[in-house]
């Protein structure tokens, strides 16, 4: 009986092993000790103040703004070594709002790195070929309640800023602003020279500062209140302002 039980147990194990040929091969993992890791810290600011939603901030014009939404995509991280070999971090997209202050991006070989690059926005292949409906609900690029896409148009909204403006700072908000910027032409490429040897087990830390005050540079807030794909002039200003708002250290 004992032999029979053992034989059947073996048969069950063997059957379970061969019955689903599509089961993925076991992933060979490298221990963390052999790898280095990449980490991002995000500092949300409004000029020198800490930034948060639903808080009043005063622009240099004297106008008061309050944000109800401020979110953007970060991703497409790449580390380049001196031989211009790239280390990518697939699936590293993150939807950032003011409550998000860090991201563990992934692991990489321990070696000398020359430069780090990333996108504020979504890379052109993903932005062109995929839609929020193509991702599992838990994915950063999946559909969200506070959506980051135009439902009538393909492609992601790269950054979305919404809120209210009190033009004369009398305590009453007069207008709402809505800036939804996307399309491949408006992706922001961020990069930083590293020139750094990264040892096994070491965490390479990046610091990203987002200064939300910079988004309003040069806008006439009496009229430049909305941007949804267009109008081109406001979109161009916001793209230029995004380059000022994001600082990678």
Site string for other proteins, 58-97 (x = CB under 8 A): ----------------------------------------
Q: What is the DSSP letter of 52?
A: -
149 binds other proteins (CB under 8 A): yes
Q: Which of residues 6-45 bind other proteins (CB under 8 A)?
A: 8, 11-12, 15-16, 19-20
151 binds other proteins (CB under 8 A): yes
Cα separation, 165 vs 177, in Å, equals 7
Cα separation, 38 vs 198, in Å, equals 10
Cβ proximity to other proteins, 48 vs 138, nearer residue: 138
Cβ proximity to other proteins, 86 vs 154, nearer residue: 154
Identify which range of 51-59, 139-147, 189-197, 211-219 contacts other proteins by CB under 8 A: 139-147
Cα separation, 107 vs 89, in Å, equals 8
H/E stretch holding 234: helix 232-245
213, 46 contact by CB (below 8 A): yes
Return the structure tokens found at 70. 């401020």
136 binds other proteins (CB under 8 A): yes
Q: Which of residues 153-212 bind other proteins (CB under 8 A)?
A: 153-154
- Single residue of 27, 28, 83, 145 touching other proteins by CB under 8 A: 145
141, 157 contact by CB (below 8 A): no
The pairing of strands 35-46 and 203-211 is parallel
Cα separation, 90 vs 106, in Å, equals 9
137 binds other proteins (CB under 8 A): yes
Q: What does the binding site for other proteins look like in residue numbers (CB under 8 A)?
A: 4, 8, 11-12, 15-16, 19-20, 131-137, 142-145, 147, 149-154, 229-232
């Amino acid at each position: 009986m004992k032999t029979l039980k053992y034989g059947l147990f073996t048969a069950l194990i063997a059957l379970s092993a061969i019955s689903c040929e599509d089961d993925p091969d076991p992933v060979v993992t490298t221990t963390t000790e052999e790898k280095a890791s990449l980490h991002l810290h995000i500092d949300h600011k409004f000029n020198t103040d800490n930034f948060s939603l639903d808080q009043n901030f005063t622009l240099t014009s004297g106008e008061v703004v309050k944000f109800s939404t401020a979110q953007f995509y970060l991703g497409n991280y790449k580390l380049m070594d001196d031989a211009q070999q790239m280390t990518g971090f697939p699936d590293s997209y993150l939807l950032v709002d003011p409550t998000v202050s860090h991201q563990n991006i992934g692991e990489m070989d321990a070696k000398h790195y020359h430069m780090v690059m990333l996108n504020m926005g979504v890379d052109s292949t993903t932005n062109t070929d995929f839609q929020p409906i193509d991702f599992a609900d838990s994915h950063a690029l999946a559909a969200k309640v506070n959506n980051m896409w135009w439902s009538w148009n393909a492609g992601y909204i790269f950054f979305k800023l919404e809120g209210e403006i009190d033009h004369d700072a009398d305590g009453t908000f007069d207008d709402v602003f809505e800036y939804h910027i996307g399309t491949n032409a408006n992706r922001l490429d961020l990069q930083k020279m590293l020139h750094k040897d990264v040892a096994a087990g070491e965490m390479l830390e990046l610091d990203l500062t987002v200064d939300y005050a910079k988004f309003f540079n040069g806008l006439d807030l009496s009229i430049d209140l909305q941007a949804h794909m267009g109008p081109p002039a406001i979109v161009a200003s916001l793209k230029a302002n995004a380059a000022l708002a994001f600082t990678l250290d």
